[in-house]
Amino acid sequence: MLQLQLPTTGLAGVSQSQSKQCSACTSARSSARALSRHQARRAARTGRGQLQAVAAAKDKKGKLMWEALREAVDEEMEADPNVCVIGEDVGHYGGSYKVTYDLHKKYGDLRLLDTPICENGFMGMGIGAAMTGLRPIIEGMNMGFLLLAYNQISNNAGMLHYTSGGQYKVPIVIRGPGGVGRQLGAEHSQRLESYFQSIPGVQLVACSTVANSKALLKSAIRSDNPIIFFEHVLLYNVKGTSLAFLRLQSSLIGWDLKEFRTHDYKGSACM
């Protein structure tokens, strides 16, 4: 019988060579993956930097506070289709101080709903909309007029989450101007914080600068609690820079942005 002898040495050499090639391929693939991850992270950092630079360039000369508030409403309406605005002259007129100027062209008349002069009625409609899943922003043309809707705010907006045993949330923002100035007369110049601070379940927010007005309003819109957002009529035309610009500057010259933050901010997403 013939016996075939296989060249074991050659096979061993081939297997060793193949294993070395496989190891080389594996290490090459690992290096490629690591490089691609590094490139991806670098691209992401570069992209964020470019976005911050664009935002800073737009904001370099500063903006007015009503413009910062308008940006907050616009960005939240674009990000969440459940956000809507209800009030007198909030649509085609753009709000009494232009906070919703031209937004009806982008989002339509139903998401910027003009109402009759009936604060008690459209406040109740907004609270009902919030209970069913929307996030309405109710604009009081003047904070003094919200006394006409005080029952809706106190007995419904502030208490429904408690009286329903947690079954309902009321994510509503009630915002509008107030304060003395601009020759508005007695009925248009009131500040009603002391009225509303005694209502259980309602949170109060007051903005004071361009930097905090946008961030605070965006946080208020995202909150699941009913919030009354106070704006002073003499601050609408105050000029300043937003937190997007301050963040870029802080990265360049080492500012500490903690002094510009409040406990209600939700991190960089709101800046």
Known catalytic residues are: 119, 188
DSSP 164: T
3-state SS, residue 137: strand
- Half-sphere exposure in the Cβ direction for 99 (13 Å, CA): 32
- Enter the tokens of residue 143: 């904070």
Task: Indicate the burial class of 253 (C-beta count within 10 angstroms; 0-12, 13-18, 19 or more).
Answer: exposed
- Enter the tokens of residue 9: 């040495």
* Residue 119 · residue 145 · CB < 8 Å: yes
Q: For the chain, what's the residue count? A: 271
Question: What residue has token string 């960089």?
Answer: 268
Cα radius of gyration (the chain): 29
Helices 210-222, 243-253: axis angle to 10 degrees equals 120
3-state SS, residue 125: helix
